[in-house]
Structures are given as C-alpha cells and as structure tokens.
Structure 1
Amino acid sequence: MGTILKRTEASSPKDTLKTEEYIHRIKSIKSRLQQDDLDQLEAEIEQLTEARPERVGGYLLKVEIALRNSDIEKAIAVLEKGSLKCADERIKIQLTILYSKDRRFEESIDLGKELVERNPDNLTLCLAYAKSLGAIKKITESIRILKKCLTIDSNHIGVLNELAHIYFKIEDFEKAKSLYQQILEISPSKGISWVNIGNIQVKNAEYQDAITSYRQSLELDPTLSEAYYNLGQVYSNILGDKGKSLEWYQKGYRLGKGNSSTVLEILAIVTKWQLADWSSYVSENERLRNLLLDYLNQETIHNLVPYELSFAGINPQVYMKVAAKYSNAIKESLTVSKHNRSYDHSIGEGKVKVGYYSPNFRLHPGGILVRTLFEHHDRSKFEIHAFSLVSSEDYVKNDIEEATDYFHDVSKMTSVEIADFINREKIDVLVALAGYNTQMKLDVLALKPAPIQIMTLGSHETTGSSFIDYVFSDNVASKEQLKDFYSESIITLPCSTMFNCPLPEVNANYTNRADHNLPENKFVFASFNHPRKLDPATIDTWVKILQASKDSVLWIYHGGIPKVAQNLKDYFKKKGVFDKVVFADRVEINQHWERIKHANVLLDCFTYNAHFTAIEFLRCGVPMITLKGDSHNSRLGSSILHFAGLSDLIANSVEEYIALALDRHKVYSFKEKLAEKNQLLFDTWMQVKYLESAYKKALDMFQRNKVESFKVKPLLPFDSK
C-alpha cells in the first residue's frame, strides 16, 4: 500500500509534493489498480489531485476507476472539473470521447472540432468525433474524417465498422457490404460483421443469403443476440414461418447476451401464443408483464414492434409506452443528409391534396378494403394520390390506379426520396393505410413530409409517435378512457372506422359442404380470423358453445400453419370436442369467398376482433357475433356490426355471447336480413364524405396552429333498419 499524503499547516499542498514524487505515486497507483481496493486508491488519487491540480495524471486515473465501475457520468464530471484547473489537452480529448459515448453529441463536436485537427493521428479521438457527427446526421463530414483515419491505418476495425454503418444508414449497401467483408478479412472471428452483412441482404430481399449470414455469425459467436433476433424476424415477418422464428427467439434468450435477451423472450412468448400453444399461458402471462416493464427501463439494440403485442391483450398504458419507444427509435435512426432542413408545410390554394400511403395497394385485404373508396371523392374539391410501397400487377392495383388521380409506385425509392417526393407533390393530408409492419417504411412518416398525417387500418391502437397527428375512431369503437392511451388526437367519425368497400365479384367454382368436410345438416360456427388472434378465453368459450349446441360443428381456419393445426387439434382433444371441429385450409381468395356461404355464423375473437374477415362474412351474407371489449381492437367488431345495422349481435358479456350463439332463430333472422341488404350493407360514398369533412377540419385547425381531437358531424340520422 502507498503512503497517504500528509499536509502541514505551514506548507501548501503543492509545496509538499515535488513533480518527481507525484509521477512516482501515480505510477504506483496504476500498478495497484488490478488488486487493491478502488475506494482506497481513489482517496489517494484525490489527495494527489488536490496537491497538484495542474497535473493531468490524477484526473485520468479517477476517470479510469469511474469507467471500471461503469459510471460514465462521474468520469465526465471529473474531466469537466479538471479542465478548469489543468491545461493538459488530454483532458479535453478524453472528454470529447466520453461525450460521444454518453450520446452528448453536440458537446462532443463542439469540443472536438479543433482537437481533431491538431491530433489527426489519435484515431480514438477522431473515431468518437466522427460517430458524433454521424449521430446528428452530418454525414458528409463524418465520412471525410473516417476516410482520413483510414489513410493513417487502413485496417482499423473501429473506423471501418463506423464507416460501414454510415453507408448502411444512407442506403449505400454496396459500399457498406464491402467494408464489412474487409473487416472479416482482417479479423475472421468478427461474427457481428456477418450480422451486418445479413442486414444488407435483407434490405436487398436476399433472404436465404441473409439467413446463411446470420447462422455464420452464430458459428463464430453463439452469444450474438442480434443474429437470433434477426433470424426470428426474417422467418416470422418475411417468410411467414412462425415455428422457425419461435425456435430462434427461444435459443436467443437462452444463449444470447445483453439486453436484447429481454426482447427475444417477449417475442418467444407472443409467438408461442400465436401458434396456439397456451400450455403455460398463466405463468407466461405474468412473465410477459414483468418482461415488458424491464424492457421499458432498458436501452436495447432492438425495439419491440408494437403490432406483435396487439394480440396479447396487454395493458393499454404499457402498449402506448412500448409504441412510443419504438417510434422514438425510428426518429433517432433517421439518416437524412439534409437533417437541418425542414419541409415546407404551407397549404396551397385550390383543391385539397390527399395522399394515401400503403404497401397494400394490391390483392391484399388492405387493398380490397379500399379498392373502390377513392372513386367517391369529390374531384372538384380534392385531388387524390396513392403512394404504393410495393410494386404489383393485379386487378386490385389496377382498380385503385384507375380510381385515383395519381398513382405513384415508390417501391424502388429510399425513405428519404419518398418523403421528398411526397412533399414536392404538396400533399396536404397524408393517410397511412397500414400500421407497424415490415413494408410500411415508417421513417418516411417520421420525416413529416405532409402537414397533416393520419394513420388507420392495420392495428387500430396508438402509434405512440409524435409524427402521426390523428387516428380515426367512432363512438362505438372508442370510449372515453381509451383516449388517454393515444399519442395522437382522435377524429371520431359518425360511421364505421373500418373502410369497407364491396368485395370484388366472386369468380370461383361452386362447392357444397362436403367439399369442405362439413356435415350437410349441422349448424356451422365459423372462425376464419388469422390464428394469431386466438386466445384461451375465446377458444374456451367456443368449447362451451359446442358442448351446449347439438348438431353443430366449429369450422376453424389454421392459417395453413402446420404447428397451429397440430396445437389446435391437441387443445380440442383435451377439451373433449375434437369430433365437432373441422379445419379449413388456405385457399385462393375467390374460392374462400365462395365457401363462406356454408357457414351459419362467424364467431369473433375477444382480444383482437375480426377486421377484414368481418367485412368478408357480412358482405357474403353471414352474420357475426362479437363481444365488446375494453380496447380499440376488441371493440372494432362491435363498430362494424353497429354500423351494419346488426347491433343485436353485440354481446356485453361472455354469457351473453354464448346465449347469442345458441339462439339459432336470431342467427337465421339476421342471415335473412343480410341477404336483403346484400352489397348495400355499408354506404361507402357517405363514408368518404365524412373523411373529406375530417380532412378539411384538420387542415383548418392546422392553419390555426392547432391539433386536437374532434368529432365529424353526421350528415343524416343513422338508420340501422
């Protein structure tokens, strides 16, 4: 142990400690950092610093100890205090580096600008400075500094990695991939570089190559949570193989390191439920709540896509916080080279320009729901644009293209290019017709290219974002308490929130019940929602209905997912009703609409109601029974039935839901009512008039610098007869 420095009243601290002795003591403390008590050493360092405050060694040692304790704030405080007494440039260099690590990018840049010019060979300093520049979107300058670093050390992995990250962010994937490959040539064991190459391959739609790259990364480092996460995402969201995605999520949270393991376990639980495996539902439900609280308190590499939680029935306040975290991450990751330029949001004279923005302007439920919507807009007052994020050629896309004034295929553009284009078109109101999904390019919306931005369809919960101004609701789908859990202002329509254009004409071969393994003379309860919407409470209620209903079967759709089919079979066998269940396969959509006629009634799910499926069945003349829940997604079925004039099929309790299902006389009477209404079930023209009123009111408030919730007044009294 070193000797504690002692002072006398007769001498100043500086006088009692010569430079040689100061240096000797600093070296002694450095040699003892590994084995001695750090608190004791810190006390010695403090005395040395008081004795010679103009010397840099004591400050740097205190910083080293603080960083060993993962206390970056304390390290910064030491350096800030030291900079007032010590002129040694090493303090400012270290402070520049730590500001960058602590995400205090502006301060890092302000302090580091001159230091970098004077110390071009200090690659740690230059790299931290370049990272700060990149973080605040000063891309050109960041690239210049990094390239200058490579002239000093062309194989510096940190510099190569940061430069590759920047090229990835600005979507120059060829340069980014080349740099990651260079890193692997220098250091073949860098598994994370294979992850980064996989990410580029996903961006280029090279999905099988991406899977190979992610797996290669795990061979090098089995603890890489990023690889497990990305494998799960590719299988789940792109290849549609939930079973494979579950395997990778489960491996990831068991073997991976870091905070991402929390996200992986959450995804494993919700994916397991979406595969109809509720074998540990009660304990997993409790575990999920705790994991979500942990997740909200963590800084994570990967943020949860809120849509994944829509089916889990989580607390709406927690959902809003998860959504806010995700949307904030989108804003933080924006890579706009013109970061400091804001878009022109002035409102032009003449027609209101409305832009509908979607990846689903094609043969897709979202496209079918809006297929004939746009043709009803008043062209003397509105100019209608469609921005398509996915390129396709089918009759739905053709119908939408014909019904809009301008159809823009923006599928090949970068996010920045799309945002620029939308703004150049002077769109006044941009309406996003999908939620949080992999093809939506929400960063375009985060750039705020239009004065008013509205989101609808997809999930009807909040986006949690600051860049979506409004969401649509109605008096049935919403309730007063729910408004507290939306970041957006709410436009309440006097019609259904769901767009619901008539279905295209059915063009399919005629079938009878036997073709679908359905008994000819039994009552057919149907469930054609996607199986991810199922939950134990819903299924157990259907079991009770089957047990109480003679001569009936449940015709249930398994989504074409073998794992779902097997889990449902096992569940119904356990409940003793397997002999009353018929499974529906995936078929071509026209054939699906043709087979709907064989059902007597559609049973709605509880947590996440039928959306497109409800419209399909009602349009095809089959009634639906729903349970009014406590969230927007669990009240949408009630909204659809109410505005279709079928409010008597809305249950307010599980007992009432069961009673409605067992009341065959009521079901038959509503089937007759639907046959009379046929395609006149909803008034699409009137719905568009309400949308136009909403757009004009939102723009009027925007010009008065206001964004707030409002209700659209009905044009006619609602007639449910």
Structure 2
Amino acid sequence: MNSFVNRNHDPAKLWERALGAFANKDYGQSVKILQSMLIQTPRFAEAHHLAGVCYLMQNKHVDAERCIKKALSFKKNAEFYANLGLALQQAGNADGAAEAYRESLALDPSSFRICNNLANIYFKLNRYEEAIALYRQAISHQPDYALAYKNLGSILTRMHRYDEAEAALKHALTLDNSFIEAKDMLAEVLIKFERYDEAFPLMRSIGAWGKLQFEKRKIIDWTDLPEIDHACLTQPVPSGVAPAAPWCLIQMPGITPDIERRAGFDFAGHEFSELKQPPLCTPRKPLSRAGKLRIGYLSADFYEHATTHLIAGVLEAHDRSAFEVTLFSYASRHDEMTDRLVQSGLAFVDVSKMSDQVAAQTIFEHKVDVLVDLKGYTTGARLGITALRPAPIIVSWLGYPGTLGHPRLADYIIADQIVAPISHAEHYSERIALMPTCYQPNDRSRPLPPAPTRADVGLPEKGLVFCSFNQILKFNPETFDLWSRLLRSAPDSVLWLLEPKLERIRENIAREFAARDISAERIHFAPFASRADHTARLRLCDLALDTYPYNSHTTASDALWAGVPLLTLSGDIFASRVAGSLLTAHGFPELITHNENEYIELALEIVTNRERLAKLKVDMDRVRSSSPLFDTTRFTQDLEQLYRAIVDDHNTPDDRRGAYVSIQMQM
C-alpha cells in the first residue's frame, strides 16, 4: 500500500502525467497534478510555468501571471517571459506585456514570434516606428513568417502608407494564400486606392458581407445588394474577418434594433482588448452632488465638423458656476472652430498623441464625474479609452445614433422619447436618459444668409426643387424608387444632391435614375460650399426628402433652420427616427410618415397642392426664432438638469431605479 502511494506521488511520474494531461488539452487536470507535485518540489520552475500556461489556455490571466512570475523567481527563461507577456497582453496590460517581451528578447534576440508580439504591443501604444522595426526584425529572422507581413501591412495602413501596406499584404498571401486576415486587410487597402473591381471580389470571397455592402453603398454600386444584405444580416462573421463597425450596418433596410445591439457587442469584443482590463474607476461608486459637477467631453471632432457645429453653442452656454467642463480631444485637426471653443474659456486637453491607456489615465487624473463620448462607432472613434472606464459615469451622445451594444462602453445614452421610446429599452445596453424635447442640440448663433438666385447655383428658374443633401451611403434602391415616383409626378421638378467626389459615383447615380425613367438633366449636384453658403442655397429648396433607414441628422436640422419642409420616413432603429424627433420638436409632426406608401402619398399631396407647400415654408420661417429645436439656452439648461438626474440615478440602488432617466423641460 505504501509503495503504491509513493509511486503515484513520485514527482517524476506526476510531471509525466501533468504533461500528458496538457497534451490532451485537459488543462484543469494538469493544474491539479502540478499542484500536488509542487508540494514536494516547490522550486521546480518548469512546473510553475506549465501551471501558468494551463491557466492561460483557460483565459485565467491573473492565475497565469501569478504562476509564471513564480517560475521566473526561480529561473530566468525567455519562454517564461514570453508567456508572461502573453498573459499580460490578453489581460489588457500593454505596458506590463511589453516589459515581459523585452526581457524575453534580451535572453533570445532571434525569437521572431516575440519580435512580432512586442511589435503588436507597440502598435497598440501608438509607437508605430518601433513596431515597424520589430516586424521587419521578425521577418529577417523568419522570412516566411506570413503573420509578421500581415501585421506590417496593418500598421502601414494605419499610417496611410498604402503602397507599402499593399506590398506587405500581398507578400503575406504569397506565403499563405488562405490567410483570411491578410485578404481582409488587403481589401481595405484596395478600397483606399478606389480599386473597387479588385476589392469587391476579394471581400466576397472571404464573406466580409458587412463591409462589402457598406463600400458598395458608398459608390452607388447596388449590384447583388439584396443578396449581400441578406448574407450580412443572417450569416455569422467568418473566422478571420474583422466584423464591420455597427455604423456600417445602419444604412441597411433590413436592420433591426436587436441586430444592431448584437453587432455592437460583437464588434466591441473583437476590437477592444481594454475590455479585459480592470476598470480605472470603481463601478457604481456613489458620487457626491456637492460642489461643481465635472463634465468631460471626449471627441475627435472639435474642429469644423457637423457634430461640433451642433454642440458648440451648448458647450459655450454651460453654467460655469455649477459645472466644470473639459474637452478631451483626439482630433488630428485644429482650426477656427477649435479656437472658438478654446477662447470660450473651456478647458482643452489634447490626447491625440497618447495611447488609449495613457489618454484614459489622463482623464482619470482630471477626476471627471461624467465623461460624455461624442463619437460612438463613427469614423475615427477611440472607444478603447472609454473601455478602460476613466470616469465613474460614461454617457454616449450625439455622434453615433444608437446603442453601443456593450455595457462597459457607456452607462447611459442621451436620447428622447421619439428616437428611443421606452418600449425599445431592451435593445439598448445603456440606460436611456431622456431629454424633454429633442436629443439633438442646435446652435442658434449659426448664420442665416439670404438665398442666392437659382441661376447662381445652376438650377432651373422655374419648377419645384427637391433636395437631399445626405451622405451618398444613405441612399438605396428603395429610396430612389420613391423619389423617382415623385419626380415623375411633377414633370417640372428637379432633385438636388451633394456632388460626389468621384465621377464614377455620379455616373452610377445617373444610371440608377435612368433605369427609373428619370433623365440625367433632372438630377443636379451641389458642389462643396462653406457652411454659410450652404445654408443660403438651401433656402432655394421647396421640399427636403429624407433617407431611410438612416435618416438625415445634421442635414435635417440644416434644412429646418433654412426654412425648408422635410419629409421623413420613420422606422424602428434610433437612426431612422432622428428626423421625426427634429420635426416634432420644431412643431411639424405631420411631416413624419411610417411606411413607403405614406411617404409617397404625403409627398404627392404636397407636390400637387402648391398652396400647402407655400404655407409650410412660411410657417417654417415663422417659428424659427421661437422653436425649442433652436433654443440653445433652454437646451443647455435641460441637459445640465439631465446630467444631475443621471448622477442621482447612478447613486440609486438597482431595486429603486426607474425604467429610465428623465426630467421636466425648463421654461
């Protein structure tokens, strides 16, 4: 009996069994055996290391770090440091991982994999040139290392060095033609070169349906779009393909609130390793209401950008006696609008050159109470900052029209009863905080110049002018069908759109309308203009036609400010209800429709009753000065009250919270 027990507890036998369990991927059993073994051989470094690797394979990063550090206390080893770096990296500790990888390379300078891993960390920390040098070092040690070529292509793409990126990615594919990630990134580079005929087949071949439909919409290439949309909405994203950002999906007619939320959750999980890292701020830590409330606004758009034009007046109107306001900017531009905000006395902190980790730490050190993210999933966003939770309360507002889908990215979303009715709350990862009128701010100090003549802007002297100055990616076949019916019903009418950047897009628009019996002469294009000139020419329009499912946002409020009636079609997602919210706040809910038949019927009624159209335009001009939509002072007061209500809600136990956060409108 004693000899049997001794044999089963012999360290050499236990080591063999632990290795066997590990080889069979029974990591939990391997750890149990190693724990028994280490009672007898507590200084056996390899056993501590193997236990750490077992924990690593189970995504137990804290235990992995503890065991591997124990191994290193007995033996300095390149592999030990490498796996410590991996554990720290997967836990989101970029700085710790980088230090571990450097120690590993000091012991084994020829390790191409560790060169690649350390380069990945430097990429994350915005240390681009150091990362490039390490990718090249990895390739010099292992010339057939396709992964390093792909990663090199990725960082060169980030740096807009597209020629070099294309070469690196194509080399990766010569080494491994089945490398899905390299194909995915190469397609992105080809899009930058506007080489759509090469990019689209590549995207189709790997099942990158979300990005394919988005890029096709951007150039009005609607070939096979129903098939592509169906695949995007019904098929999981293939392994190796980066999911499309939710912002790329809300143009799709088949999008639903549930799909949008799941897309946000999946995208966040794929993109933001910071979600695995401990938050900088303790969740649900009560906040004091005494003294000034510290509000931080985080954005890349504090320059001549649509979002900042909307919010500038609010930022300037904040009550400085009750609120301490700081703008945290990661903008790549600085212009007159930036100067306007700075000169208004707002604290301005530039975090553009910082990594997400350092930027989050900087915000944390400013002791912000409520951090308002103004970007969401829009272009240039850095949600890795908010994923690190640098403030007790994080609010999503204005930039992205919808839920972020992941509860750690934002606690609240500022909305209103039109864009986010409480019946839709289950589709939001955030708690809904309701403004009493419209969620969108507007700056009453914006200019309202007199209109030019039609001849000045190339429009016919007579007839109706319909306009839709929306981004081209919001257009779709269904919308063109409706607009074409309207144009055919009013033979003297024209449609005015923003001039596309590419001649190819202009040709595609003409072709689509020609297929619907609308000649090219009836489609007019407005070139780029200053904000004041654009507002002035808007006043020549008779009726603004909204897009669906991605409504006009700033474009809609621009039209209403210029006194142009707006016809909208309202749907289920936030983005498809924005124009309805604006019209309701402005006092014209009768211009909201809820299906295609209503949309075309109301449009035809307005077109055929020119007196009604004329009266709408007169009424639009009359209410401008008194409309809640353009009352910046009242909006700011309501917003400040809502921030206080959000703090109260944050401090309230879950079992005593209401379904949403709301306030009474300031009078």
TM-score interval w.r.t. the shorter chain? Answer: 0.7 to 0.9
Specify the SS of the correspondent of 1:512.
coil
The structural deviation recorded for 1:495 is 1.3
Q: Which residue of 2 aligns with 1:79?
A: 30
Question: In the alignment, is residue 714 of structure 1 matched against residue 665 of structure 2?
Answer: yes
Q: Which residue of 2 aligns with 1:657?
A: 599
CA contact (8 A) 1:250 1:265 kept: no
CA contact (8 A) 1:423 1:450 kept: yes
Q: Which of residues 392, 402, 408 in structure 2 aligns to 1:451?
A: 392
Q: Which of residues 182, 199, 222 in structure 2 aligns to 1:248?
A: 199
CA contact (8 A) 2:150 2:182 kept: yes
CA contact (8 A) 2:94 2:121 kept: yes
Structure number with higher relative contact order (C-alpha < 8 Å, ≥ 6 residues apart): 2
Q: Partner amino acid for 2:598?
A: E
Q: Partner amino acid for 1:498?
A: Q
Q: Which of residues 561, 578, 582 in structure 2 aligns to 1:640?
A: 582
Q: Which residue of 1 aligns with 2:267?
A: 326
Q: How does 1:364-443 map to 2 (within 5 A)?
A: 364-443=305-384
1:671–1:197 distance in 2 versus 1, CA, 3 Å:
same
In the alignment, the residues of structure 2 paired with residue 502 and residue 530 of structure 1 have an alpha-carbon distance, to the nearest angstrom, of 24
Q: Which residue of 1 aligns with 2:537?
A: 595
Moved more, 682-691 or 443-452: 443-452
CA-to-partner distance for each residue in 1:341-394, whole Å, 9 max, x for gaps? Answer: 869985474222222222112111111111222232223322322222215443
User: Which stretches of structure 1, 4 residues or longer, exceed 6 Å deviation after superposition?
Assistant: 11-15, 84-92, 338-341
The structural deviation recorded for 1:117 is 4.7
Q: Which residue of 1 aligns with 2:120?
A: 165
CA-to-partner distance for each residue in 1:311-344, whole Å, 9 max, x for gaps? Answer: 12422112111211223345534698x9788699
Q: Which residue of 1 aligns with 2:216?
A: 272
CA-to-partner distance for each residue in 1:77-110, whole Å, 9 max, x for gaps? Answer: 5534654787897776555434324433233334
In the alignment, the residues of structure 2 paired with residue 63 and residue 448 of structure 1 have an alpha-carbon distance, to the nearest angstrom, of 36
1:636–1:308 distance in 2 versus 1, CA, 3 Å:
same
CA contact (8 A) 1:310 1:459 kept: no
In the alignment, the residues of structure 1 paired with residue 448 and residue 186 of structure 2 have an alpha-carbon distance, to the nearest angstrom, of 38
In the alignment, the residues of structure 2 paired with residue 678 and residue 703 of structure 1 have an alpha-carbon distance, to the nearest angstrom, of 39
Structure 1 residue ranges without an equivalent (≥5): 1-10, 20-48, 67-71, 255-260, 717-721
In the alignment, the residues of structure 2 paired with residue 192 and residue 129 of structure 1 have an alpha-carbon distance, to the nearest angstrom, of 21
The structural deviation recorded for 1:431 is 1.7
In the alignment, the residues of structure 1 paired with residue 359 and residue 70 of structure 2 have an alpha-carbon distance, to the nearest angstrom, of 37
CA contact (8 A) 1:357 1:388 kept: yes
Q: Partner amino acid for 2:202?
A: K
Question: In the alignment, is residue 498 of structure 1 matched against residue 440 of structure 2?
Answer: yes
In the alignment, the residues of structure 1 paired with residue 3 and residue 213 of structure 2 have an alpha-carbon distance, to the nearest angstrom, of 62
Q: Which residue of 2 aligns with 1:30?
A: none
Q: Partner amino acid for 2:114?
A: V
1:693–1:144 distance in 2 versus 1, CA, 3 Å:
closer
In the alignment, the residues of structure 1 paired with residue 35 and residue 547 of structure 2 have an alpha-carbon distance, to the nearest angstrom, of 66
CA-to-partner distance for each residue in 1:133-166, whole Å, 9 max, x for gaps? Answer: 3333555654454344334432011222222223
CA contact (8 A) 2:246 2:377 kept: yes
Specify the SS of the correspondent of 1:370.
helix
In the alignment, the residues of structure 2 paired with residue 130 and residue 647 of structure 1 have an alpha-carbon distance, to the nearest angstrom, of 58
Q: Which of residues 403, 406, 413 in structure 2 aligns to 1:462?
A: 403
The structural deviation recorded for 1:655 is 2.2
CA contact (8 A) 2:31 2:54 kept: no
Question: In the alignment, is residue 97 of structure 1 matched against residue 43 of structure 2?
Answer: no
Q: Which residue of 2 aligns with 1:308?
A: 248
The structural deviation recorded for 1:115 is 3.5
The structural deviation recorded for 1:418 is 2.5
Q: Which residue of 1 aligns with 2:478?
A: 537
Question: In the alignment, is residue 359 of structure 1 matched against residue 310 of structure 2?
Answer: no
In the alignment, the residues of structure 2 paired with residue 409 and residue 512 of structure 1 have an alpha-carbon distance, to the nearest angstrom, of 43
CA-to-partner distance for each residue in 1:217-270, whole Å, 9 max, x for gaps? Answer: 44554444333433455676xx6x7x446843641552xxxxxx44x2331123
TM-align CA RMSD: 3.6
Work out which of the two has the higher radius of gyration on C-alpha atoms and give 1 or 2: 1
CA contact (8 A) 2:286 2:650 kept: no
Q: How does 1:286-305 map to 2 (within 5 A)?
A: 286-291=230-235, 294-295=236-237, 302-305=242-245
1:112–1:556 distance in 2 versus 1, CA, 3 Å:
same
In the alignment, the residues of structure 2 paired with residue 84 and residue 100 of structure 1 have an alpha-carbon distance, to the nearest angstrom, of 16
Q: Which residue of 2 aligns with 1:719?
A: none
Specify the SS of the correspondent of 1:584.
strand
In the alignment, the residues of structure 2 paired with residue 55 and residue 357 of structure 1 have an alpha-carbon distance, to the nearest angstrom, of 55
Q: Which residue of 2 aligns with 1:194?
A: 149
CA-to-partner distance for each residue in 1:110-140, whole Å, 9 max, x for gaps? Answer: 443333455545x545422331133335556
Specify the SS of the correspondent of 1:440.
coil
Q: Which residue of 2 aligns with 1:528?
A: 469
Q: Which of residues 554, 557, 563 in structure 2 aligns to 1:615?
A: 557
1:180–1:231 distance in 2 versus 1, CA, 3 Å:
same
In the alignment, the residues of structure 1 paired with residue 239 and residue 98 of structure 2 have an alpha-carbon distance, to the nearest angstrom, of 27
The structural deviation recorded for 1:563 is 3.4
In the alignment, the residues of structure 1 paired with residue 305 and residue 94 of structure 2 have an alpha-carbon distance, to the nearest angstrom, of 38
1:53–1:398 distance in 2 versus 1, CA, 3 Å:
closer
1:350–1:86 distance in 2 versus 1, CA, 3 Å:
closer
Specify the SS of the correspondent of 1:372.
helix
Q: Partner amino acid for 1:107?
A: D
In the alignment, the residues of structure 1 paired with residue 508 and residue 3 of structure 2 have an alpha-carbon distance, to the nearest angstrom, of 77
In the alignment, the residues of structure 1 paired with residue 22 and residue 465 of structure 2 have an alpha-carbon distance, to the nearest angstrom, of 73
Give the TM-score normalised by structure 1: 0.80
Give the TM-score normalised by structure 2: 0.86
Q: Which residue of 1 aligns with 2:226?
A: 282
Specify the SS of the correspondent of 1:373.
helix
CA contact (8 A) 1:170 1:335 kept: no
Q: Which of residues 413, 417, 426 in structure 2 aligns to 1:471?
A: 413
CA-to-partner distance for each residue in 1:256-293, whole Å, 9 max, x for gaps? Answer: xxxxx44x2331123223332223233223212222xx
Q: Which of residues 71, 81, 86 in structure 2 aligns to 1:115?
A: 71
The structural deviation recorded for 1:206 is 4.9
1:452–1:108 distance in 2 versus 1, CA, 3 Å:
closer
Q: Partner amino acid for 2:112?
A: I
1:406–1:511 distance in 2 versus 1, CA, 3 Å:
same
Number of residue pairs the alignment of both structures matches: 648
Percent identity of the aligned residues? 25
The structural deviation recorded for 1:429 is 2.0
Q: Partner amino acid for 2:644?
A: K
1:299–1:698 distance in 2 versus 1, CA, 3 Å:
farther
1:518–1:415 distance in 2 versus 1, CA, 3 Å:
same
The structural deviation recorded for 1:640 is 0.4
In the alignment, the residues of structure 2 paired with residue 417 and residue 54 of structure 1 have an alpha-carbon distance, to the nearest angstrom, of 48
CA contact (8 A) 2:150 2:172 kept: yes
Q: Partner amino acid for 1:269?
A: Q
